[in-house]
Amino acid sequence: MKDADELALAALLGSRFPVIVVETPEEARALHLAERVANLQETALYAWSVTGGLRRVNGRDATAGTAALPDALRHILTTPAAGLYALLDPQPFLEDPVCRRFVREIAMGHTRCARTLVLVGARIELPPEIQRMSASFALALPAAADIRRIFREEIELWIAQHDGRKPAGDPEAAETLVQHLVGMYQDDARRLIRQALRADGRVTWDDVAVALRQKHHALESGGALQLQTDIEKFSAVGGQVRIKRWLDRRREAFVGDAASLGLDVPRGILLLGVQGGGKSLAAKAIAGGWGLPLLRLDFGALYNKYHGETERNLRAALETAGAMAPCVLWMDEVEKGLASGGDGDGGVSRRVLATLLTWMSERRSRVFMVATANDISALPPELLRKGRFDEIFFVDLPSEEVRRQIFAIHLAKRRRDPARFDLAALASASGGFSGAEIEQAIVASLYEAHALSQELATDLVLAEIRGTKPLSVVRSEEVAALREWAAERTVLAD
């Protein structure tokens, strides 16, 4: 039975394109595919490399004097033998005008003699005169079923090498590893599975973390997309009851198979609110609670002084996020990267916004977008249009009960027993404080306790609270305006 790659390549050859470009690091896989298609079509397959020259792949005949690409191309042009000619890593030689001319002449004679050049390499950039005669072909990345097959093969190999002993580990971690290896090249996925098994004969959550780091490194997008390792659980987030409930209702549809449930895949949320209110913490908790990698888009690293490069960087980052799927994509303080500043920046922000909006509307990969913003006035209205996000939540300053939870969370995080503190008094005294300001009050009071050589107590935290002017006081007008805007346009987090 023919697979999808065989059918696609055969269809492309049937379209009589004289030059086919295959950009892939999986050279052996591409060559094997070309050999299968050539055998099915009963045609010859030749391969050229700078080390081996031109040789007949499915006949094993070597052609002397063809180590240099111009000599190999001259032989192809002057010897009217129909077939596929795979040129391996030809990129460095395509700048040679002699090579370029030979390629053009072979392509122009394609109708008289069916010779198809297949250019294989990790990166192929054709000159314009050749590009118009060419077509691109991409090897399909493995789906979950392919990764599971590779997993079984590696387990069988491991068992054979260990006297029939089966590897151990966490089945849930193994399935999560499979899901995260989807979208990687087969060779890379196999190596990571082999690494997990060979380390200790177990597949654990540590192996999942290693695979995620390796996958992100392999897909590196110039530093604009960072893999965040400091993710949290929802237990570390005080309040935000409606957000937690909303996310809990959608977890199965995103992490599992939404189609089989008759549901749409959740696409993302916008978290608007006061600085320090816990929006970033919520983004980290979504990734941690759903067991997904968290990618943070750094708008500062996107921008480039050269025309078109910023949009190119954004597209590369979004493609990387798609390859990392399923994942959470976090755009922190999105208003700073997409501020509607007219054409003062040469129109870059407008083009970046257009690129992002196109991706948001057309993406099919399981990338859950979490955008956070502090200044609603700086956000372009196009981003807030209904349908861009599944929901817009407003994260207000915490209520007294939520402040009590936040004190307990941060005290426990610093190995202090919350039961030893008067949480009610702390919550009452900290009206108008954000979660970040509560955390800072605890941090500062710990330093004070250390200086006084005593244990942290309620009175030290209270003293720190009373000596602090929260943002809600210092910038009260801005906070009030934000609350007024959000009242009729967003869903309250609590």
Chain-centroid distance, C-alpha 107? 38
Residues 99 and 155 occupy one common structural domain: no
> Does residue 439 lie within any of the structural domains?
yes
| For residue 341, pLDDT beyond 80 | no
What is the band of 139 on the pLDDT scale with cuts at 50, 70, 90? Answer: confident
Residues 370 and 273: beta-carbon distance below 8 Å: no
- Structure confidence at residue 444 as a pLDDT band (50, 70, 90): very high
Q: pLDDT value at position 305?
A: 55
Segment of 6-10, 61-65, 168-172, 176-180 carrying the highest mean pLDDT: 6-10
Instruction: List pLDDT tens digits, range 193-202.
Output: 888 888 778 8
The contacts found for 465-468 with CB under 8 angstroms, 24 or more apart, are 465/426, 465/429, 465/430, 465/433, 465/441, 466/429, 468/433, 468/437, 468/440, 468/441
- In a domain, residue 480? The reply is no
Q: Are residues 165 and 303 in the same domain?
A: no
The reply to whether 224 falls in a domain is no
The per-residue pLDDT for 476 is 87
Q: What is the pLDDT, as a whole number, of residue 1?
A: 46
Indicate whether 494 belongs to any domain: no
Q: Are residues 365 and 443 in the same domain?
A: no
Tell me: do 117 and 173 sit in the same domain. Answer: no
Identify whether 483 is part of a domain: no
* Positive or negative: CA dihedral 63, 64, 68, 73: negative
Q: What whole-number distance in Å separates Cα of residue 271 and Cα of residue 371?
A: 6
- Assess contact for 265 and 253: CB atoms under 8 A: yes
Q: What is the mean pLDDT of residues 167-180?
A: 82
Same domain, residue pair 302 and 434: no
CATH number of the domain bearing residue 187: 1.10.8
Is 482 domain-assigned?
Answer: no
Distant-in-sequence, close-in-space partners of 303: CB < 8 Å, separation ≥ 6:
310, 313, 348
Q: Domain end: 218, 245, 277, which one? A: 218
* Residue of higher predicted confidence among 121 and 176: 121
More confident residue, 420 or 175: 420
Domain that holds residue 47: 4-137
- Comparing C-alpha atoms, which of 195, 220, 215, 189 is closest to residue 207? 195
Q: What is the pLDDT of residue 142?
A: 79
* 3-state secondary structure string across 210-276: HHHHHHHHHCCCCCCEEEECCCCCHHHCCCCHHHHHHHHHHHHHHHCCHHHHCCCCCCEEEEEECCC
Q: Are residue 203 and residue 273 in the same domain, yes or no?
A: no
Range name among 36-40, 141-145, 372-376, 405-409 with the lowest pLDDT average: 141-145
**Do residues 111 and 155 both lie within one domain?**
no
pLDDT: is 275 or 443 the higher one?
A: 443
Q: Which runs of consecutive H residues, i.e. helices, occur in 256-390?
A: 258-261, 279-290, 299-302, 309-323, 334-338, 348-362, 381-384
Greater pLDDT, 240 or 303: 240
For residue 111, the model assigns a pLDDT of 63
pTM listed for this prediction: 0.68
Q: Same domain, yes or no, for 204 and 295?
A: no
- Cα dist from 230 to 59, 243, 399, 436, whole Å: 55, 20, 26, 16
- Categorize the per-residue pLDDT at 71 as very low, low, confident or very high, splitting at 50, 70 and 90: very high
Q: What is the number of alpha carbons within 13 Å of residue 237 lying toward its C-beta? A: 28
Reduce the DSSP state of residue 44 to 3 states and report it. Answer: coil
Q: Is pLDDT of 299 > 80?
A: no
Task: Answer yes or no: do 127 and 149 share one domain.
Answer: no
Domain shared by 99 and 161, yes or no: no
- Within-domain flag for 491: no
Boundary (domain end) residue, out of 395, 413, 430: 395
User: Is 404 domain-assigned?
Assistant: yes
| Average pLDDT in the chain | 85
Same domain, residue pair 162 and 60 = no
CA–CA separation, 473 vs 348, rounded Å?
36
The residue from 93, 115, 137 where one domain ends is 137
Q: What is the rounded CA–CA span in Å between residue 107 and residue 18?
A: 5
Burial class (CB in 10 A: 0-12, 13-18, 19+), 148: middle
Question: In CATH, what number is assigned to the domain containing residue 299?
Answer: 3.40.50.300
Cα–Cα distances (Å) from 359 to 146, 365, 369, in that order, read 27, 10, 11
State how many domains the chain has: 4
Residues 254 and 352 in one domain: yes
Query: What span, in angstroms and rounded, lies between the C-alpha atoms of 23 and 279?
Result: 40
Distance CA 216, CA 326 (A): 13
- Which uninterrupted H or E stretch holds 120? strand 115-121
> If you average pLDDT over residues 124-152, what whole number do you get?
86
Q: Is the pLDDT of residue 441 over 90?
A: yes
CB 487 within 8 A of CB 272: no
User: Which is more confidently placed, 401 or 168?
Assistant: 401
Q: Residue 117 and residue 255: Cα distance in Å, rounded?
A: 42
Q: What is the per-residue pLDDT across 219-269, written as a single tens digit (0 to 9) for each?
A: 665 567 788 877 788 888 888 899 999 999 999 888 877 767 888 889 999
